[in-house]
Amino acid sequence: MHDRRTSYMTYNFVLFIFVYCIPLIILFTTNTIIYLGLKRMRTKLAEGAKTDFSQRRIEMEQRILKSNILIEFKKKKKFLFKSFQ
């Protein structure tokens, strides 16, 4: 049922790397940078003058970041299971 020729195996491996792994690494890196930036903003607010707007903005960006991470991992998980069935 499954074709085990080298060309097909290579194609599947390259497809997996370029369609799944590289975008996942990019998303992980950018979300980590955003998370560290939010953490740095929070410490600056703790040291300096707090404004209600700044505090709400940081909380909103953290919620967006968390939901973005969850959505992307769910999409990638679905793609991974569909492609290898």
CA-CA distances (angstroms) from residue 76 to 14, 26, 59, 67?
A: 16, 13, 26, 14
For residues 27 and 35, what is the distance between their CA atoms, to the nearest angstrom? Answer: 12
Q: What is the pLDDT of residues 48-79, one digit of tens each?
A: 766 777 778 778 888 888 887 777 777 766 66
Question: Whole-structure pTM over 0.75, yes or no?
Answer: no
Q: Which residue has the tokens 């569909």?
A: 82
Q: What is the pLDDT of residues 5-28, one digit of tens each?
A: 888 889 888 998 998 889 889 988
For residues 85 and 82, what is the distance between their CA atoms, to the nearest angstrom? Answer: 6
pLDDT at 35 over 80: yes
Query: Domain boundaries in the chain?
Result: 24-83
Calculated CA dihedral for residues 55, 61, 63, 67, nearest 10 degrees = 180
